[in-house]
Each structure stands twice: as structure tokens, then as C-alpha cells.
Amino acid sequence: MNGIKEETKLRRLRLARNIGVLAVSLALIVSGAGMVVADQMLNRINFVGDTSSSQEQGGNILATVESTASGSVTQAKSGILGGLYHDDAITNIMLLGVDDYRSGDIGRTDSIIVVSVDNRHQKLKLTSFMRDLYVAVPGHGSTRINSAYSIEHGGAAGAKLLTTTIEANFGTDIDRFVVIDNSAFDKIIDDLGGVQITLTQGEADLINSELGDSRKNLSAGTFLLSGKQAHYYCRIRAIGNDYARTERQRKVISSIVSSLQQANNLSKIYKIMYEVLPLITTNLTKDEILSMAANSLTYVNYPVSQCRIPADGEFTGQDVILAGQKADVLVPDLEKCKKTLAQFIYENDIPTGTYPTESNFERSSDRTAFAVRFFARRNRYDDPSLQRAAPPQGPGARVVPHARA
């Protein structure tokens, strides 16, 4: 009797062992296949080697994700790093939409939006920078902010200069950049089945008459826009001004996030990524993308808030001469803009004091160090009236008197 019991026990142990081995084997096969798929996906992205940023010197995006997952985000470090506001629990990614729709054109940044993945306050934050902002571009004098991208002939070099320009003028650390080809938004939106946008009659009429889309059925009201329709909606300047235009861009991005939240479907997200990744250039690393992708369902369920730089009352409208042509620009009050940006991104936890790491200054990247030197130099003009706005610099740049608030 005891022998039968022992044999039964041994069979159960062998069965449990075999089930365990099978489970581990399946896990290894699945994870191995997942790694192969992930590697194939990531190889579709246009990576650039330079990832120099303040996060690389003190903390990093991977640490942010890990600390959030472990519930220790309140312990994440923050402070002034290389003269810039920096918080390990908040990742600032500059998203650039490039209007290179003309053949052979380097393009300018049609949209400049900093996406802040705020794990400290569990929010997604979108900050639009008006493309007519007249700011000092390090090494190139003052011009419109969206020209910084084309000055360095676009691509990664253009994105790096624009990153430095925003950091130098507005004092917040930009951790990484993502440059998105003109057609990527269309693909994302179409793969999601469209985005819901509320239109005025004027906006609907423009989309219907100018777009060339077969779905010419729009009027005032809320509609599910196709990729082409949403893209054209973002570009409208005939109605309102550039403020209204940047608001339309933020509305579309918010609607994309909302669609992803509703999808809550990894296979759909995978399909979108597969099609869109070849249209992206970034200095995010593969490991950083994998870590963020693993938490993507968490991030897309964060509430979304929006901001615009400059805010009302934080700029003056002027006409300047650029390359021999009169140009209408917005000259920002940089101190007010810097404060608005910091309060929006960091809320009541604006970094103070030196970021707690060894040899901060020596470990700063060339890009960050250059931005800091330039930022300090730019605020020391002899004429006090120029200390709150970027003065005209460079060949052929001068201010033309213009009374517009």
C-alpha cells in the first residue's frame, strides 16, 4: 500500500516537474521571440548615435521607468543640472513635425511640441512652441525658432540645434528628440481609424475645398477625421492665427492619445509602430524605447494637459528684417516664458539646488555646456531693454517699429 502511495507521489512530482519545465520553456520561447520581434521593430527606426543630454549625466530615462514601476518615484532626484531644470521622474521629449512635403526640401519644423512624460504627477503634458518665436539660435544670431532645424540642414543635426535653442532660451532640460516625417501622422491616424475633432464651419469648408480628400462631407460639428483631414486641420492658418494653429495641433495629438486609450490593444499599437517607425529619427536609445514601450499602456492612460509658449502677455509682436525680407515675429519675454514652462512641467516641484551627482560640470555634455554658456551670455546685454527679449542678431537682421501687442 505504501509502495503504491509512494509511486503515485513520484508520478505527481514528475508531472509537476514536467509542467514546470514546459512552462519555463514556453516562457523562454515567447520571451526569445519577443526579443527578436522587438529587435526587428527597433531596427526600422533611424537612430542617431549622439544621445548627449543632461539625463545621460545625472539619472536617465531607464531609471525613471524603473523607479516608477517600483513605486519609488518620490525618491527620484531633481535639481539644476548644467544650468537647466532637470527631474529624473519627468522625461521631456521634443516632438518635431517637419514640413518636408516638397521634393528636395530640407523643411522647417511645422510643429514643435515638448511631450513631458511626468511620472511624478502621473500626467502627459504637451507644450507647443510658436514657430514665429524670435529667439537667439546659438552660433547663428536671432531668427524664427523653426528656422533652427533648417540652419543645420535638418535631420539629427537640425534637431540637436533646435534642442539647444530651446534649452538656452527657456531653461528646461530636453532629454531626447523625435523627428517625425510629414506622412507619419496620416498613417498613425488612419491605423487608429481616425480621430474625433470638433470643427467650426470655416475649418470644415477649408478642409473640404483644399484637401483633395474624397471624404468631402464635413460641416460644423464633431467628426471622425481621416489622416489627411486631420493633418490639413493642423496646418490651417487662414482662420485665427498661429495660436489657434498650435491649439489645433495639440487637439489632434490629444485625440490620438485618446484613441490609443480606447484601443488599449497591443496588436494595434504594434501595427502602428511597424508602419511608422521607419519615418522616425530619434536619439532615444533602443533600451529607452523598449522600457517606455513596456509602460506605454500606463502612459497613454495618464490625463493630458496642454500649454503654449509664449502664453498671452508674454511677448510683443514686431516686424524684423530677415535675409532682406520683412518678417512678422513674436519677441518673447524670456523670464516670464521660462517661469510658465517650469510651472507647467514641474508644477509645485520645480527643481532647486544643484542636481545631486558628482562633478556635474565636468560631466556635462558639450551640447548642454554650450547651451549654458550661451544662455548666461545672452542675458548680459549692455542695453537693459534687451534683457527680456532676444535682440536681432546676424546679417540682415534688424527690428522694424511695429505697434502690435
Residues 217 and 282 in one domain: yes
Q: In whole angstroms, what is the distance from residue 151 CA to residue 144 CA? A: 11
Residues 304 and 175 in one domain: yes
Residues 156 and 212 in one domain: yes
> Cα dihedral angle (378, 381, 385, 386), rounded to 10 degrees?
-30
Residues 38 and 91 in one domain: no
Contact 145, 135 (CB under 8 A): yes
Residues 27 and 114 in one domain: no
pLDDT for the residue 71: 54
Domain with 8, as residue range(s), is 1-43
Residues 8 and 143 in one domain: no
Task: State the pTM of this model.
Answer: 0.70
pLDDT for the residue 368: 45
Q: In whole angstroms, what is the distance from residue 333 CA to residue 342 CA? A: 14
For the chain, helix, strand, coil in percent to 5 are 45, 25, 30
User: What total of structural domains would you count in the chain?
Assistant: 2
SS3 43: coil
* Residue labelled with grid coordinates 536681432: 392
Residues 106 and 247 in one domain: yes
Residues 80 and 158 in one domain: yes
- CATH classification at residue 152: 3.40.630.190
Residues 108 and 249 in one domain: yes
Per-residue pLDDT of the chain (405 residues; tens, 9 = 90+): 555 555 554 455 454 444 444 444 333 333 344 445 566 777 888 888 654 444 444 445 555 555 554 556 778 899 999 999 999 999 999 999 886 555 555 666 778 999 999 999 999 999 999 989 999 999 999 999 989 998 988 889 999 999 999 999 999 999 999 998 777 878 888 888 888 999 999 999 888 887 766 666 788 999 999 888 888 888 887 787 777 877 888 888 888 877 776 766 667 777 777 888 888 899 998 888 888 878 877 887 899 899 999 999 999 999 998 888 898 999 999 999 999 999 999 999 999 999 986 544 444 444 444 444 334 433 333 333 333 344 444 434 444 433 333
pLDDT for the residue 375: 40
> Cα dihedral angle (31, 33, 34, 37), rounded to 10 degrees?
160
Q: For residue 272, what is its C-alpha cell?
A: 502602428
Contact 121, 168 (CB under 8 A): no
Residues 15 and 143 in one domain: no
Residues 212 and 257 in one domain: yes
pLDDT for the residue 101: 53
pLDDT for the residue 1: 56
Contact 144, 152 (CB under 8 A): no
CB atoms under 10 Å from CB of 315, counted, come to: 23
